[in-house]
Structure 1
Amino acid sequence: MDIVTVADDEGNTLEYKKYKEHVFPKLVRGNVQDQLAQVAQLQCRADDILLCTYPKTGLHWTYNIVHMLVSGSATYLGSPRYLEFDDIANIDSMPPRRVFATHFEVCHLPEAMKCGTGKIINVLRNPKDVAVSYFCFLTSLNSPVYSGNFNGFLKFFLNEDFLFGNWFGALKQWLDIRKTYPDMKTLTLHYEDMKRNKLQNIYTLANFLEIPTGEDFLRQVELNVEFSKMKIDHEHGPAGSDTFVNISNRGVLPIYRKGDIGDWKNWFTQAQSEEFDRVYQQRMAGYDIDFIYE
Structure 2
Amino acid sequence: MTAFARTQGEAEQAAFAWELRSVNHRYLEPHFKLPESFRSLEPALRERLRAALARGKVDVNLHFHAAEREIDYEVNTQKVRALQKAAGEVAAIAQLTGDLGVCDILQWHGVLQQPELDVDGAAKELLAGFDRAVLALIDARKQEGEKLAALIQQRLNQIEHFVQKVRARMPDVLAEHRARIDARLAELQVEVDADRLTQEIVLLAQKVDVAEELDRLEAHVAEVTRALSAGEPCGRRLDFLMQELNREANTLASKSIVVDVSQAAVELKVLIEQMREQVQ
How high is the TM-score relative to the length of structure 2?
Answer: 0.20
Of the two, which has the highest radius of gyration?
Answer: 2
In proportion to residue count, which structure has more helix?
2
How high is the TM-score relative to the length of structure 1?
Answer: 0.19
Greater RCO structure (CA 8 Å; 6+ sep): 1
